[in-house]
Structure 1
């Protein structure tokens, strides 16, 4: 493991693309002590959401030879890397509702099913569970559901992204994830949550 150079770390933290473009070492192999890649660092800073650095990092990784044993490209390896919390870059992008970044990540590796982190949260669950529904949040959900071949929508305590969406007053668009019948550890499916929250109207066309 090679630690990220402090100058490069600061550049990623502040959204400065210059040092990233000029860096000659394999960026996808540079990690912080808690195993964050430079992509994690960039996406983890809430004041930046531009996709230019993400594109640069992916293009740099694409230029490297594909692993002859696994057949997986270096770009996909980078996108699938997890930190100590088991968060991927997509987890970070979903957490901060960066739809343009989510679009890039999911289109770059559509066949990968992003599993839950140490808190039991998948990227889709994260998006569904955080705050009130907004247009940007809706775009994140649409990109994940529209671009990913195999979507993992699980959450903690047996809940699904749909359970989470209903709990925060979702408008129903996440119903496309086909997880209506999943039950949590209490034996509740999303309909139970909808009834409990007096918001069962979102299921009118589904039931």
Structure 2
């Protein structure tokens, strides 16, 4: 595309295009096969109320541009939906309806335009739904009103309702539930309904909306995916207490359903290791009996809890071991790259008489000894000691690692101070910044213990 024409299209100046023949106008495109319509629509700021004069004028000159796609498979309607331009969406649909009436060729331009998929397998309606999550529902309403029979399937078999749930677009969901309630029963390629997605993502308000809108709540809740998992199973496995409570309140019978492995809601709750969900299920009179329920392998929820705890315990040990080993390595290397360097004649430290340097050596030694001790404890724990001794050892290793981390910070601060003794102001500022680590660590630890409680 000629650079001048590109700029004119982006600015919405239609005069330069009036003298271009229709056949030539079709062939004007960028390297990405964007026509002047694509360029104009995409150049407007997202969500901005734009003028549609250029779009209307170009379509009158060359109607076929309405159905032209770029190399990503996007029609001008796709681009308008992505950029949240409801006024442009309305103009494009009205023009397509006009063409269908005037040509009388039997081709429904509106339906074709709404059914075409881009390379991501999204229709214009899917793009409109995703954009509506940012605050523009008008486009979705416009498309549904003009083509209520449009194919609502997208990538992975996702319907527009699936997409709206994933984007947490509550206003769009309300609209779809009013006009397309049947979509609540549609599954994606994994067998998930939109309620499955809402439960898995922890969207409690959307879950309530969908439960209230469903005429047959039992059918909606009992609809299982390819693995036999219901929305309640997914919410419990992710630890979403509020969603679990709302599902059980709307349909108490759903607690007894098991998946293909024989897992009930309590099995899934144990996997999440979330205290709130476990408490909710323990307090619920309908669910108490599930604690003794066995899956096909004979495992009760308590067996699953033990396995989940052991798995998480191993991950904690591995992460602690990595941190301790890293501190030990740095502390060991710091001794041989000491601040100030060595004397060339006898190899002793130049700053050995400096108080700050002496503090550096002591704190670095503490860091190395404690971190090495933590590494050794983790090595011993690899033999599956078990029992209270294992827990006590893990706590000891944790305290050693945390203390060595603090000692490393002190070593850095004192070593820096020793080197910057002649620049007192800079030394103080550096020490102050370094010591803020302890304030940050205190805040993080308090927050962590608050969450645990």
Deviation at 1:123, TM superposition (A): 1.1
Quote the offset at 1:133 in angstroms: 5.0
Residue in 2 that maps onto 1:39 = 37
- For residues 137-195 of structure 1, what are the alpha-carbon distances to aligned partners after superposition, in whole Å with 9 as ceiling and x for unaligned? 21100111111264232222221111111122223212324433221122111122233
1:18 paired with 2:5, answer: no
Structure 1: any 5+ residue segments left out of the alignment?
A: 62-74
Corresponding residue for residue 192 of structure 2: 188
1:138 aligns with 2:121: no
Q: What is the correspondence of 1:24-173 to structure 2 with a 5 Å cutoff?
A: 24-26=20-22, 27-47=25-45, 49-61=50-62, 75=63, 77-109=64-96, 110-112=110-112, 113-130=114-131, 132-134=133-135, 137-148=136-147, 150-169=149-168, 170-171=170-171, 172-173=174-175
CA 1:33–1:187 in 2, change beyond 3 Å: closer, same or farther?
same
Indicate the residue corresponding to 1:205 in structure 2: 213
Q: How large is the Cα RMSD of the aligned pairs?
A: 2.1
Identify which of structures 1 and 2 has the higher relative contact order when contacts are C-alpha pairs closer than 8 Å and 6+ apart: 1
- Provide Cα deviations, 1:105-140, integer angstroms capped at 9, x if missing partner: 112222323322111211111121236352xx2110
- SS in structure 2 of the partner of residue 19 of structure 1: helix
Residue 80 (structure 1) shift: 1.1
- Contact 1:79/1:105 (8 A) holds in 2: yes
For these two proteins, the number of residue pairs brought into alignment is 187
Separation in 1, partners of 2:147, 2:69: 18
In 2, distance between residues paired with 1:88 and 1:39?
A: 9
Distance 1:149 1:159 in 2: 17
SS class of match (1:153): coil
Q: Given the superposition, is the C-alpha separation of residues 111 and 185 from structure 1 closer, same or farther in structure 2, using an over 3 Å criterion?
A: closer
TM-score by length of 1: 0.80
Larger radius of gyration: 2
Unaligned runs of 5+ in 2: 97-109, 216-453
Kept after mapping to 2: 8 A contact 1:111/1:149:
no
